């Protein structure tokens, strides 16, 4: 049986438990699309890719993965037809990663469903409380230099209006 605290929980407990809540929501949405949560992260990062794509080193830094883990993640995503690799035009030893047409489609669907599911977690909060929570979490994220693994699409409500920060890339695929 899970013990629920009788008094309001502390900041550490609240942050850790909220991370578990967001992680579980993210994982559930990923499974609906036959993705791992890390494949979902990769697709979301690549959605905002520059024209020249992302190099493997850049993806290692953004996703917080070991190079070998990222290679496996990209390989599995490649076999699913979600990404493609191309030689780097400035460094013949390096490759750049891009979404395929199918990858764009799956990424968009996954992203939209994840935004809705994570935003729904805050439905019990008033608009003012949601705004306060967003400001506080935004400060924590920015002050701790959390890489962008999930961001607002152009034309979507600003991050301060929608709770959609995703999770950090700390687990393995």
DSSP secondary structure string for all residues of 35-97: --HHHHHHHHHHHT--TT-EEHHHHHHHHT--HHHHHHHHHHHHHTTSEEEEE-SS-TT-EEE
Q: Does residue 158 sit within a domain?
A: no
> What letter would DSSP give residue 168?
-
Report how far apart, in Å, the C-alpha atoms of 80 and of each of 43, 87, 98 are: 12, 20, 13
Q: Does residue 147 sit within a domain?
A: no
pLDDT score for 130: 92
Q: Does residue 84 sit within a domain?
A: yes
∠ CA 26-100-170, rounded to 5°: 35
Q: Does residue 167 sit within a domain?
A: no
Lowest mean pLDDT among 38-52, 71-85, 145-159: 145-159
> What is the pLDDT confidence band of residue 4, given thresholds at 50, 70 and 90?
low
Q: What is the pLDDT of residues 100-151, one digit of tens each?
A: 999 999 999 999 999 999 999 999 999 999 999 999 999 999 999 887 777 7
Summarize the confidence of residues 58-79 as an average pLDDT: 93
Using the predicted structure, report yes or no on whether residue 153 has a pLDDT greater than 80: no
pLDDT score for 150: 75
Domain that includes residue 26, residue range: 12-141
Work out the mean pLDDT of the chain and round it to a whole number: 83
Strand, helix or coil for residue 14: helix
Which position has the higher pLDDT, 79 or 94?
A: 79
pLDDT score for 163: 31
Nearest to 115 by CA among 148, 152, 141, 142: 152
Q: Does residue 168 sit within a domain?
A: no
Nearest to 19 by CA among 173, 165, 172: 165
What's the total number of domains in the chain?
A: 1
Q: Does residue 56 sit within a domain?
A: yes
Which position has the higher pLDDT, 122 or 168?
A: 122
pLDDT score for 3: 62
State the CATH number of the domain containing residue 100: 1.10.10.10
Task: Report the percent of the chain where pLDDT is more than 70.
Answer: 82
pLDDT score for 22: 92
Q: Does residue 126 sit within a domain?
A: yes
Q: Does residue 65 sit within a domain?
A: yes
């Amino acid at each position: 049986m899970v013990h629920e605290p009788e008094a309001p929980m502390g900041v550490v407990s609240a942050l850790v438990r909220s991370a578990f809540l967001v992680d579980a929501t993210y994982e559930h949405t990923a499974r609906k699309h036959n993705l791992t949560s890390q494949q979902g992260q990769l697709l979301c990062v690549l959605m905002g890719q520059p024209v020249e794509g992302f190099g493997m080193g850049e993806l290692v830094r953004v996703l917080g993965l070991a190079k070998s883990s990222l290679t496996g993640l990209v390989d599995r995503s490649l076999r699913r037809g979600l990404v493609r690799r191309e030689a780097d035009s400035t460094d013949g030893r390096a490759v750049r990663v891009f979404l395929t047409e199918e990858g764009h489609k799956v990424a968009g669907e996954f992203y939209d469903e994840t935004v809705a599911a994570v935003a729904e977690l805050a439905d019990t909060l008033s608009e003012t409380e949601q705004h306060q929570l967003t400001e506080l979490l935004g400060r924590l994220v920015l002050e701790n230099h959390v890489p962008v693994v999930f961001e607002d699409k152009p034309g979507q409500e600003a991050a301060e209006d929608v709770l959609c920060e995703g999770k950090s890339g700390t687990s393995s695929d």
